[in-house]
Structure 1
Protein backbone atom coordinates (compact mmCIF):
# COMPACT_ATOMS: atom_id res chain seq x y z
CA UNK A 1 0.00 0.00 0.00
CA UNK A 2 2.90 2.39 0.72
CA UNK A 3 4.24 2.08 -2.83
CA UNK A 4 0.88 3.09 -4.34
CA UNK A 5 0.60 6.12 -2.04
CA UNK A 6 4.18 7.14 -2.82
CA UNK A 7 3.52 6.83 -6.56
CA UNK A 8 0.29 8.84 -6.24
CA UNK A 9 2.14 11.60 -4.36
CA UNK A 10 4.81 11.61 -7.06
CA UNK A 11 2.36 11.59 -9.98
CA UNK A 12 0.22 14.47 -8.76
CA UNK A 13 3.12 16.65 -7.71
CA UNK A 14 3.02 19.98 -9.55
CA UNK A 15 6.34 19.57 -11.33
CA UNK A 16 5.41 16.18 -12.80
CA UNK A 17 2.10 17.48 -14.12
CA UNK A 18 3.85 20.53 -15.61
CA UNK A 19 6.42 18.26 -17.24
CA UNK A 20 3.71 16.03 -18.69
CA UNK A 21 1.92 19.05 -20.17
CA UNK A 22 5.22 20.33 -21.58
CA UNK A 23 5.99 16.97 -23.23
CA UNK A 24 2.53 16.78 -24.81
CA UNK A 25 2.70 20.38 -26.03
CA UNK A 26 6.25 19.83 -27.29
CA UNK A 27 5.16 16.78 -29.30
CA UNK A 28 2.31 18.70 -30.88
CA UNK A 29 4.55 21.68 -31.55
CA UNK A 30 7.15 19.39 -33.15
CA UNK A 31 4.51 18.07 -35.56
CA UNK A 32 3.50 21.61 -36.48
CA UNK A 33 7.11 22.60 -37.13
CA UNK A 34 7.70 19.43 -39.18
CA UNK A 35 4.68 20.23 -41.32
CA UNK A 36 5.85 23.83 -41.69
CA UNK A 37 9.26 22.67 -42.88
CA UNK A 38 8.06 19.79 -45.09
CA UNK A 39 4.98 21.42 -46.57
CA UNK A 40 5.67 25.17 -46.57
CA UNK A 41 9.39 25.98 -46.41
CA UNK A 42 11.16 23.21 -48.31
CA UNK A 43 8.96 23.05 -51.46
CA UNK A 44 9.73 26.67 -52.49
CA UNK A 45 13.41 26.14 -51.70
CA UNK A 46 13.37 22.96 -53.79
CA UNK A 47 11.63 24.86 -56.60
CA UNK A 48 14.29 27.58 -56.48
CA UNK A 49 16.94 24.87 -56.75
CA UNK A 50 15.41 23.46 -59.92
CA UNK A 51 12.45 21.42 -58.72
CA UNK A 52 14.38 19.34 -56.19
CA UNK A 53 12.43 17.34 -53.62
CA UNK A 54 14.69 17.24 -50.58
CA UNK A 55 13.37 13.84 -49.50
CA UNK A 56 14.73 12.43 -52.76
CA UNK A 57 18.25 13.79 -52.28
CA UNK A 58 20.59 10.90 -51.59
CA UNK A 59 23.87 9.29 -52.49
CA UNK A 60 23.27 5.70 -53.59
CA UNK A 61 26.04 3.44 -52.35
CA UNK A 62 24.52 0.25 -53.75
CA UNK A 63 21.53 -0.02 -56.10
CA UNK A 64 18.49 -2.14 -55.30
CA UNK A 65 18.58 -5.61 -56.82
CA UNK A 66 16.74 -8.92 -56.92
CA UNK A 67 18.35 -11.75 -55.00
CA UNK A 68 18.38 -15.30 -56.48
CA UNK A 69 15.06 -16.06 -54.77
CA UNK A 70 13.46 -13.11 -56.58
CA UNK A 71 13.13 -10.93 -53.46
CA UNK A 72 13.98 -7.26 -53.99
CA UNK A 73 16.81 -6.03 -51.78
CA UNK A 74 16.54 -2.31 -51.05
CA UNK A 75 19.18 0.15 -52.15
CA UNK A 76 21.79 1.33 -49.68
CA UNK A 77 21.87 5.12 -49.69
CA UNK A 78 22.88 8.15 -47.64
CA UNK A 79 19.70 10.25 -47.51
CA UNK A 80 21.16 13.68 -46.90
CA UNK A 81 17.95 15.42 -48.07
CA UNK A 82 16.06 14.06 -45.07
CA UNK A 83 18.95 15.16 -42.88
CA UNK A 84 18.69 18.71 -44.24
CA UNK A 85 14.96 18.75 -43.45
CA UNK A 86 15.57 17.54 -39.90
CA UNK A 87 18.25 20.22 -39.40
CA UNK A 88 15.77 22.88 -40.52
CA UNK A 89 13.12 21.34 -38.20
CA UNK A 90 15.52 21.42 -35.28
CA UNK A 91 16.63 24.98 -36.02
CA UNK A 92 13.05 26.25 -36.09
CA UNK A 93 12.12 24.43 -32.87
CA UNK A 94 15.29 25.68 -31.15
CA UNK A 95 14.55 29.23 -32.32
CA UNK A 96 10.97 29.06 -31.03
CA UNK A 97 12.09 27.70 -27.65
CA UNK A 98 14.81 30.37 -27.45
CA UNK A 99 12.26 33.10 -28.14
CA UNK A 100 9.90 31.73 -25.48
CA UNK A 101 12.70 31.53 -22.89
CA UNK A 102 13.83 35.03 -23.83
CA UNK A 103 10.26 36.34 -23.39
CA UNK A 104 9.92 34.63 -20.01
CA UNK A 105 13.29 36.01 -18.87
CA UNK A 106 12.35 39.54 -19.95
CA UNK A 107 9.09 39.27 -18.00
CA UNK A 108 11.03 38.10 -14.94
CA UNK A 109 13.48 41.02 -15.29
CA UNK A 110 10.59 43.49 -15.48
CA UNK A 111 9.12 41.93 -12.36
CA UNK A 112 12.48 42.11 -10.55
CA UNK A 113 13.12 45.66 -11.76
CA UNK A 114 9.86 46.96 -10.33
CA UNK A 115 10.65 49.91 -8.08
CA UNK A 116 10.88 49.06 -4.42
CA UNK A 117 8.81 51.20 -2.10
CA UNK A 118 10.79 53.85 -0.21
CA UNK A 119 11.84 52.91 3.31
CA UNK A 120 9.43 54.02 6.00
CA UNK A 121 10.27 57.38 7.48
CA UNK A 122 11.36 57.42 11.10
CA UNK A 123 9.95 60.17 13.21
CA UNK A 124 12.21 62.29 15.42
CA UNK A 125 10.70 61.01 18.65
CA UNK A 126 11.73 57.44 17.83
CA UNK A 127 15.28 58.55 16.99
CA UNK A 128 15.59 60.46 20.28
CA UNK A 129 14.23 57.51 22.25
CA UNK A 130 16.75 55.17 20.59
CA UNK A 131 19.61 57.57 21.45
CA UNK A 132 18.44 57.77 25.09
CA UNK A 133 18.25 53.96 25.24
CA UNK A 134 21.78 53.63 23.85
CA UNK A 135 23.13 56.18 26.36
CA UNK A 136 21.46 54.34 29.26
CA UNK A 137 22.99 51.06 28.08
CA UNK A 138 26.44 52.67 28.08
CA UNK A 139 25.98 54.04 31.62
CA UNK A 140 24.73 50.72 33.01
CA UNK A 141 26.90 48.50 30.98
Structure 2
Protein backbone atom coordinates (compact mmCIF):
# COMPACT_ATOMS: atom_id res chain seq x y z
CA UNK A 1 0.00 0.00 0.00
CA UNK A 2 1.42 3.32 -1.03
CA UNK A 3 2.07 6.25 1.23
CA UNK A 4 -0.77 8.29 -0.28
CA UNK A 5 -3.26 5.44 0.14
CA UNK A 6 -2.24 5.00 3.77
CA UNK A 7 -2.60 8.73 4.38
CA UNK A 8 -6.09 8.72 2.80
CA UNK A 9 -7.08 5.81 5.04
CA UNK A 10 -5.70 7.62 8.08
CA UNK A 11 -7.60 10.83 7.28
CA UNK A 12 -10.81 8.93 6.49
CA UNK A 13 -10.97 7.52 10.01
CA UNK A 14 -13.43 9.37 12.22
CA UNK A 15 -10.94 9.81 15.06
CA UNK A 16 -8.81 12.27 13.09
CA UNK A 17 -11.79 14.41 12.18
CA UNK A 18 -13.07 14.29 15.78
CA UNK A 19 -9.65 15.34 17.03
CA UNK A 20 -9.49 18.26 14.59
CA UNK A 21 -12.94 19.46 15.62
CA UNK A 22 -11.97 19.12 19.29
CA UNK A 23 -8.83 21.20 18.81
CA UNK A 24 -10.71 23.98 17.01
CA UNK A 25 -13.50 24.08 19.59
CA UNK A 26 -10.94 23.93 22.41
CA UNK A 27 -9.05 26.91 21.02
CA UNK A 28 -12.26 28.93 20.69
CA UNK A 29 -13.32 27.92 24.20
CA UNK A 30 -9.93 29.01 25.53
CA UNK A 31 -10.47 32.45 24.03
CA UNK A 32 -13.89 32.69 25.69
CA UNK A 33 -12.48 31.80 29.11
CA UNK A 34 -9.52 34.16 28.66
CA UNK A 35 -11.96 36.95 27.84
CA UNK A 36 -13.99 36.08 30.94
CA UNK A 37 -10.88 36.15 33.13
CA UNK A 38 -9.45 39.36 31.60
CA UNK A 39 -12.71 41.29 31.44
CA UNK A 40 -14.65 40.19 34.52
CA UNK A 41 -12.70 38.16 37.07
CA UNK A 42 -9.34 39.94 37.08
CA UNK A 43 -10.81 43.47 37.40
CA UNK A 44 -12.74 42.23 40.45
CA UNK A 45 -9.55 40.73 41.88
CA UNK A 46 -7.73 43.97 41.04
CA UNK A 47 -10.33 45.93 42.99
CA UNK A 48 -9.68 43.69 45.98
CA UNK A 49 -5.92 44.22 45.69
CA UNK A 50 -6.13 48.00 45.79
CA UNK A 51 -6.86 48.81 42.15
CA UNK A 52 -3.75 47.28 40.62
CA UNK A 53 -4.04 44.82 37.79
CA UNK A 54 -2.90 41.33 38.72
CA UNK A 55 -0.89 41.06 35.51
CA UNK A 56 1.10 44.16 36.58
CA UNK A 57 2.24 42.64 39.88
CA UNK A 58 6.01 42.34 40.09
CA UNK A 59 8.91 42.17 42.50
CA UNK A 60 11.49 44.81 41.64
CA UNK A 61 15.05 43.60 42.19
CA UNK A 62 16.80 46.70 40.85
CA UNK A 63 14.80 49.86 40.13
CA UNK A 64 15.31 51.75 36.89
CA UNK A 65 17.90 54.51 36.97
CA UNK A 66 17.30 57.87 35.33
CA UNK A 67 20.12 60.09 34.13
CA UNK A 68 20.45 63.85 34.64
CA UNK A 69 18.83 64.44 31.25
CA UNK A 70 15.66 62.59 32.34
CA UNK A 71 16.23 59.56 30.14
CA UNK A 72 16.27 56.07 31.55
CA UNK A 73 19.87 54.87 31.66
CA UNK A 74 19.17 51.39 33.00
CA UNK A 75 15.88 49.51 32.86
CA UNK A 76 14.45 48.01 36.02
CA UNK A 77 15.13 44.40 36.81
CA UNK A 78 11.95 42.77 38.09
CA UNK A 79 10.29 39.41 38.49
CA UNK A 80 6.88 39.79 36.85
CA UNK A 81 4.83 37.16 38.65
CA UNK A 82 1.45 38.78 37.95
CA UNK A 83 1.27 37.56 34.34
CA UNK A 84 2.06 34.07 35.58
CA UNK A 85 -0.73 34.26 38.17
CA UNK A 86 -3.20 35.39 35.53
CA UNK A 87 -2.21 32.48 33.26
CA UNK A 88 -2.62 30.03 36.14
CA UNK A 89 -6.10 31.40 36.86
CA UNK A 90 -6.97 31.04 33.16
CA UNK A 91 -5.80 27.43 33.20
CA UNK A 92 -7.68 26.54 36.37
CA UNK A 93 -10.93 28.04 35.07
CA UNK A 94 -10.62 26.26 31.73
CA UNK A 95 -9.84 22.95 33.46
CA UNK A 96 -12.78 23.39 35.85
CA UNK A 97 -15.27 24.17 33.09
CA UNK A 98 -14.04 21.23 31.00
CA UNK A 99 -14.38 19.00 34.09
CA UNK A 100 -17.98 20.15 34.58
CA UNK A 101 -18.76 19.62 30.89
CA UNK A 102 -17.29 16.09 30.86
CA UNK A 103 -19.07 15.22 34.09
CA UNK A 104 -22.42 16.24 32.59
CA UNK A 105 -21.60 14.46 29.32
CA UNK A 106 -20.71 11.21 31.11
CA UNK A 107 -23.88 11.43 33.19
CA UNK A 108 -25.95 11.67 30.01
CA UNK A 109 -24.09 8.78 28.34
CA UNK A 110 -24.42 6.21 31.12
CA UNK A 111 -27.87 4.82 31.78
CA UNK A 112 -29.33 5.38 35.20
CA UNK A 113 -28.50 2.40 37.41
CA UNK A 114 -31.32 3.17 39.82
CA UNK A 115 -34.06 2.93 37.19
CA UNK A 116 -36.64 0.24 37.94
CA UNK A 117 -36.91 -2.55 35.39
CA UNK A 118 -39.73 -2.31 32.88
CA UNK A 119 -42.98 -4.21 33.50
CA UNK A 120 -42.21 -6.60 30.64
CA UNK A 121 -38.89 -7.50 32.22
CA UNK A 122 -40.57 -8.20 35.56
CA UNK A 123 -43.15 -10.44 33.85
CA UNK A 124 -40.46 -12.31 31.95
CA UNK A 125 -38.51 -12.86 35.16
CA UNK A 126 -41.64 -14.20 36.86
CA UNK A 127 -42.28 -16.59 33.95
CA UNK A 128 -38.66 -17.74 34.03
CA UNK A 129 -38.82 -18.39 37.77
CA UNK A 130 -42.10 -20.32 37.40
CA UNK A 131 -40.63 -22.47 34.61
CA UNK A 132 -37.62 -23.34 36.77
CA UNK A 133 -39.93 -24.87 39.40
1:29-62, Cα deviation, whole Å (9 max, x unpaired):
1111111101111112201221111121011234
Deviates more, 1:53-62 or 1:21-30: 53-62
Cα displacement (A) at 1:65: 6.3
| Matching residue of 1:46 | 46
Write out aligned runs for 1:102-141 (5 A).
Answer: 102-110=103-111, 115=117, 118=121, 119=124, 121=127
SS in 2 for 1:94: helix
CA 1:74–1:5 in structure 2 vs 1: closer, same or farther (change >3 Å)? farther
CA distance in 1, matches of 2:65, 2:80: 18
TM-score by length of 2: 0.74
Q: CA 1:74 to 1:26, structure 2 compared with 1: closer, same or farther past 3 Å?
A: farther
Deviation at 1:108, TM superposition (A): 2.2
- For 2:77 and 2:17, how far apart are their aligned partners in 1? 44
Bigger drift between 107-116 and 40-49 goes to 107-116
Change in 2 beyond 3 A, CA 1:113/1:96:
same
If the length of structure 1 is used for normalisation, what is the TM-score? 0.70
The structure whose Rg is larger is 1
Number of equivalenced pairs: 121
Specify every segment of 5 or more residues in structure 2 that has no aligned partner in the other structure, as ranges.
Answer: 67-72
User: Residues 12 and 87 from structure 1, CA distance in 2 versus in 1: closer, same or farther, beyond 3 angstroms?
Assistant: same
1:3 lines up with 2:3 in the alignment: yes
Distance 1:75 1:24, change over 3 A: farther
The Cα of 1:111 is off from its aligned counterpart by 5.8
2: CA distance between counterparts of 1:92 and 1:15? 27
| C-alpha RMSD over aligned residues | 3.0
The equivalent of 1:28 in structure 2 is: 28
